[in-house]
Amino acid sequence: MGEKVTIRDVAKYAGVSPAAVSYVLNGVNKVSDETKQRILKAVKELNYEPNLTAVSLSKKKSNIIAVMFPLINDSLATIFKDNHYYSEMISGIEYVMRKHGYDLLISGANNPTECMKWIQKRNVDGLLFLGVFPNRLYKEMKALSTPVVLVDTYEKYERDFHHITVNDENGGYIATKHLLDLGHHAIGFVAHHLTDSPIDKKRFSGYERALREAGMQTCKEHIFEAQDSSFENGYKLGKELLRHPTRMTALFASSDTLALGIMKALQEGGKRIPDDYSIVGFDDLTFSSYSSPSLTTVRQDVFNKGVVAATAIIQAIESHATTLQHINLSVELIVRNSTAEKK
Amino acid sequence: MGEKVTIRDVAKYAGVSPAAVSYVLNGVNKVSDETKQRILKAVKELNYEPNLTAVSLSKKKSNIIAVMFPLINDSLATIFKDNHYYSEMISGIEYVMRKHGYDLLISGANNPTECMKWIQKRNVDGLLFLGVFPNRLYKEMKALSTPVVLVDTYEKYERDFHHITVNDENGGYIATKHLLDLGHHAIGFVAHHLTDSPIDKKRFSGYERALREAGMQTCKEHIFEAQDSSFENGYKLGKELLRHPTRMTALFASSDTLALGIMKALQEGGKRIPDDYSIVGFDDLTFSSYSSPSLTTVRQDVFNKGVVAATAIIQAIESHATTLQHINLSVELIVRNSTAEKK
DNA sequence: TTGAAAGCGCTAACAT
DNA sequence: ATGTTAGCGCTTTCAA
């Protein structure tokens, strides 16, 4: 194993210069067909594999793309653990990267300075930011010459980065419309963070639009914030709901995990879903169809989102085009058993 | 941004040689305190960050650890998507690696040759194999000088690699014992793959042991294979169960996802959990406590498993010790609402 | 204690 | 078409 064969070995073996080998390997058309064959043969026989570290140093290109997650309590734990969502997306990202010869580095980021340093040191070719980071981070990022693709972030940064989003406004709209069509009037909206999260804002405006079209107004008492997208906070919120009688008969939650947590608490409190409450989630995670009752939700194709994000960053890296990409993916309503006509 | 400051710039600025700077940065005690301070000052003022690619090339150490997943249908999809389990573990791994200055590369592997090549090319310092891979892969891996830590693989490779496991046999035992204690006699066992999966075999022997101690025999009709750990296959199996009347009153499934899928199918078929069937899962994923009913399961601390695995690989890399580590983590039974006394 | 210089393995400008 | 050579940025041996 230790006997690493270098480009020099190949060159010697083929009776040519290292440069010639490099040319052949990099598709530089400077070598006669005859020697080319000889070189290729040597490569094969010696089982030569170029050392990517050396290539990186020389080309100043690492073929590594980093996927950054916000850090919570100094670890990816919460985000990763409670939100399936990201693993599905990473699958999509990995798939594309592997096909294109890039490797995928996973890292948490919170401190902008640390993050910037790390990017420089590691020499990554591109960055994918999944989720929402502290504002300062984005600001510093702008100074970066490395291409950045943002996933799930809004207008604020449109001018500075590529980004991939889904049609959250429409998602909020169709979810709410569905509930209205079922005859519900008092419909709650459960956000993660209404103030911090651009995504939630969008979903909320879809919710508002649907109500408005139905001639209704949003009502303060029907808006809730869970702080994050965990089951647990959904559950807590559900318990809270049980304590305060309300005229609501339906809820639209900004994520499936939240919706499922709420549903659980409500059920434990003796409420029946969908008889007492209709519930709609957002995302359509795998297990949302396996809950009891199965969850009506706004589906986004998360694997595909990963594919699109990875494709975008690779394109940004390889094309040197200066135009920013802004891709907005569509969503669709999946009606299952957590929603029903208002009694 | 482009103006990358190199070690030479620092040296010049401090009026010393690049070597001196390198010494200081690497804690080599060869520099007078006076110059050391001068160098440190220069580093700070120029905001110097060593280029890790160059360091890698020079030191022949990348400070990158790769986490390998088996590829299914050419993507991580299934494994990642349907099994939450891995995301929780990655959180643990990332946490430790970041603390120790390693970066985490994620990659799928199936073809052993490709995999080996990739490892060499990328110059990774260590490998973490999550899950079960084709036999050929392990065989080739042995030739590798790079340290490898296996997670969830058994005896077969004990002599060749470090590995982290949980006490699966005991898990199978306590799950079954719990069911027996509740008065169940006909207890089904649902495996992923009984033949291929060393984990399932262990869990199965725990199951057998409990039965044996209770003076019972395992019964062929009570053993099932789901093929993988997806909800979906659990669901299918549940549907199957509905079609074939059985005297079973309890089921122990080798993963939570499987258990939840089965539960769903059974519920849809009008069966009541735990009244008609008691169900026990394995893993204790976050959402297992949020199902209806919440799932009784064998808990393993997956985040911690990641922490332990990462710690082991780093130790293997840095200590050059030749003794193989074999760490077996404990499990515990979490009794929730999917199990009850036999009526 | 300090520094010059020879690598690490590859690429690319330049010369032949 | 092919080879020479000077980097890429850092480490480390060796000499001063």
Decide if B334 is inside a domain: no
- Locate the chain A residue with the closest alpha carbon to B267: A292
Residue B199 inside a domain? The answer is yes
For residues A297 and A310, membership in a common domain is answered with no
pTM of the predicted model over 0.85 = yes
**Cβ–Cβ under 8 Å, residues A196 and A44:** no
Q: Are residues A99 and A222 in the same domain?
A: no
Average per-residue pLDDT for chain A = 91
Whether the predicted pLDDT of A45 surpasses 70 = yes
Q: Where does a domain end: B42, B59, B76?
A: B59
Helix (H, G, I), strand (E, B) or coil at B38: helix
**Residues constituting chain A:** 343
- Judgement on whether residues A226 and A312 belong to the same structural domain of the protein: no
% residues pLDDT > 90 (chain B):
72
Average pLDDT over residues B121-127: 93
What is the spatial distance, in angstroms and rounded to an integer, between the CA atom of B124 and the C1' atom of D12? Answer: 22
pLDDT of B276 strictly over 60: yes
For residue A335, being part of any structural domain is answered with no
Return the residue in A277, A290, A304 with the most chain B beta carbons within 10 A, the one to mutate for interface testing.
A290
Is there a contact between A291 and B291 if contact means CB atoms under 8 Å apart?
A: yes
On whether both B172 and B112 belong to a single domain, the answer is: no
Q: Is residue A334 part of a domain?
A: no
Determine the residue among A91, A111, A263 to mutate to test chain B binding: the one whose Cβ has the most chain B Cβ atoms within 10 Å. Answer: A91
Q: Measuring CA to CA, which residue among A163, A137, A168, A158 is closest to residue A70?
A: A137
In whole angstroms, what is the distance from residue B188 CA to residue B130 CA?
28
Q: Do both A172 and A260 map to the same domain?
A: yes
Let me know whether A145 and A175 are in one domain: no
CB contact under 8 A, B103 and A122: yes
Nearest nucleotide, C1' to the C-alpha of B23?
D11
Let me know if residue B245 belongs to a domain. yes
Q: Give which of A262, A276, A185 is closest to A222, Cα–Cα.
A: A185
Last residue of a domain, one of A20, A35, A59: A59
Q: What is the dihedral of CA B174, B179, B183, B184, to 10 degrees?
A: -130
The nearest CA of chain B is from the CA of A84 a distance in Å of 6
In this complex, the residue with its CA at the shortest distance from the C1' of nucleotide D7 is: A58
Pairing label, strands B332-334, B296-299: antiparallel
pLDDT of B107 strictly over 80: yes
Identify whether residues B77 and B161 lie together within a single domain.
yes
For residue B294, the distance in angstroms to the closest alpha carbon of chain A comes to 9
Query: Model confidence at B221, in pLDDT bands (50, 70, 90)?
Result: very high
- Provide the pLDDT for residue B106: 92
Domain annotation covers residue A338: no
B145 close contact with A: CB closer than 8 A: yes
For the segment B263-286, the average pLDDT, to the nearest whole number, is: 95
Cβ-based contacts of A121 with chain B (< 8 Å): 49-52
CA–C1' gap, A29 and C16, in angstroms: 18
Asked if B261 and A86 come within 8 Å (Cβ–Cβ), the reply is no
B75 neighbourhood in chain A, CB within 8 Å: 91, 94-95
Residues in B closer than 8 angstroms to A310, CB to CB, are none
Separation of alpha carbons A188 and A184, rounded Å: 10
Averaged pLDDT, B307-327:
91
Give the distance, in angstroms, between residue A20 CA and nucleotide C14 C1'.
15
* d(CA B321, C1' D11) / Å: 24
CA distances from A335 to A159, A282, A294, A305 (A): 36, 12, 9, 22
Inspect the interface and report whether the beta carbons of A91 and B75 lie closer than 8 Å: yes
Dist. CA A235–CA A264, nearest whole Å: 7
- Amino acid A2: pLDDT: 46
pLDDT at B77: 56
Residue A108: CATH number of its domain: 3.40.50.2300
**Helix/strand/coil (H, E, C) string of chain A?**
CCCCCCHHHHHHHHCCCHHHHHHHHCCCCCCCHHHHHHHHHHHHHHCCCCCHHHHHHHHCCCCEEEEEEECECCECHHHHHHCCHHHHHHHHHHHHHHHCCCEEEEEEECCHHHHHHHHHHHCCCEEEEECCCCHHHHHHHCCCCCCEEEECCCHHHCCCCEEEEECHHHHHHHHHHHHHHCCCCCEEEEECCCCCCHHHHHHHHHHHHHHHHCCCCCCHHHEEECCCCCHHHHHHHHHHHHHCCCCCCEEEECCHHHHHHHHHHHHHCCCCCCCCCEEEEEECCHHHHCCCCCCEEEECCHHHHHHHHHHHHHHHHHHCCCCCCEEEECCEEECCCCCCCCC
A105 and A29 in a single domain? The answer is no
| B339 falls within a domain | no
Number of domains in chain A: 3
| Predicted local confidence at residue B2, as pLDDT | 46
- B281-313 burial, b if ≥16 CB within 10 A, otherwise e? bbbbbbbbbbbbbbbbbbbbbbbebbbbbbbbb
Of A76, A145, A290, the CB nearest to B264: A290
Least CB-CB distance to B123: which of A51, A91, A105?
A51
Q: How many CA atoms, within 13 angstroms, populate the side-chain half-sphere of residue A177?
A: 16
Are residues A183 and A129 both part of a single domain? Answer: no
* pLDDT the model gives residue B82: 56
Instruction: Give the distance from residue B127's alpha carbon to the nearest chain A alpha carbon, in angstroms.
Output: 14
Q: Residue B41: which CATH number?
A: 1.10.260.40
Local structure of B32: helix, strand or coil: coil
- Domain shared by A75 and A161, yes or no: yes
- Phi/psi at A197 (5° precision): -95, 115
Check if residue B277 sits with its Cβ under 7 angstroms from strand D: no
Chain A interface, mutation test: which of B59, B76, B336, most A Cβ atoms within 10 Å?
A: B76
Using DSSP, state whether B51 is helix, strand or coil. coil
Interatomic CA distance for residues A83 and B286, integer angstroms: 10
Confidence of residue B1 (pLDDT cuts 50, 70, 90): very low
CA-based nearest residue to B152, from B1, B300, B53, B263 = B300
Q: d(Cα B281, Cα B188) in Å, to the nearest integer?
A: 12
Domain boundary among B59, B75, B98: B59
- Mean per-residue pLDDT, B272-285: 96
pLDDT given at position B113: 83
Angle at A77 between CA B97 and CA A146, to 5 degrees: 60
| Residue (of A33, A34, A58, A43) closest to A9 by Cα position | A43
Same-domain status, A123 and A211: no
User: What's the distance, CA A62 to chain centroid?
Assistant: 23
Asked if B248 contacts B188 with a C-beta cutoff of 8 angstroms, the reply is yes
- Which among A64, A143, A290 has the least Cβ separation from residue B261? A290
Q: Which tops the pLDDT comparison, A4 or B47?
A: B47
Is the model's pLDDT at A320 over the cut of 80? no
Of A76, A108, A120, the CB nearest to B49: A120
pLDDT band at A337 (very low <50, low <70, confident <90, very high): very high
Return d(Cα B173, Cα B194) in angstroms, integer. Answer: 16
Residue A77's pLDDT band, with cuts at 50, 70 and 90, is: low
Instruction: Inform me whether the pLDDT recorded for B218 exceeds 50.
Output: yes
- How do residues A79-95 score in pLDDT, each as one tens digit? 555 566 788 889 899 99
Same domain assignment for residues A249 and A323: no
Query: Which residues of chain A have a CB within 8 Å of the CB of B263?
Result: 292
Q: Per-residue pLDDT averaged across A101-120, rounded?
A: 88
Q: Do B49 and A286 touch (CB under 8 A)?
A: no
* Average pLDDT of the segment spanning A178-198: 94
Nearest protein residue by Cα to C1' of nucleotide D3: A17
Residue A189 pairs with which residues in a beta bridge?
A223, A252
Q: What is the pLDDT of residue B321?
A: 75
DSSP B80-110: HHS-THHHHHHHHHHHHHHHTT-EEEEEEE-
Least CB–CB distance from B57: residue in A2, A53, A290: A53
| CA nearest to A141, candidates B237, A133, B79 | A133
Give me the CA A51–C1' C5 separation in Å, rounded: 24
pLDDT of residue A331: 98
Cβ separation A94–B108 shorter than 8 A: yes
A271 touching chain B per CB within 8 A: no
Q: Which domain holds residue A172?
A: 168-301
Distance, in Å, from the CA atom of B93 to the CA atom of B69, rounded to the nearest integer, reads 14
Please check whether residue A235 lies inside any domain of the structure. Answer: yes
pLDDT at A83: 62
Nucleotides of D under 7 A from a protein CB: 1-5, 7-13
For A107, the closest of B92, B103, B291 (CB atoms) is B103
What is the edge-to-edge ordering of all strands in the sheet holding B326-329? A326-329, A162-166, A148-151, A126-130, A64-70, A103-109, B103-109, B64-70, B126-130, B148-151, B162-166, B326-329
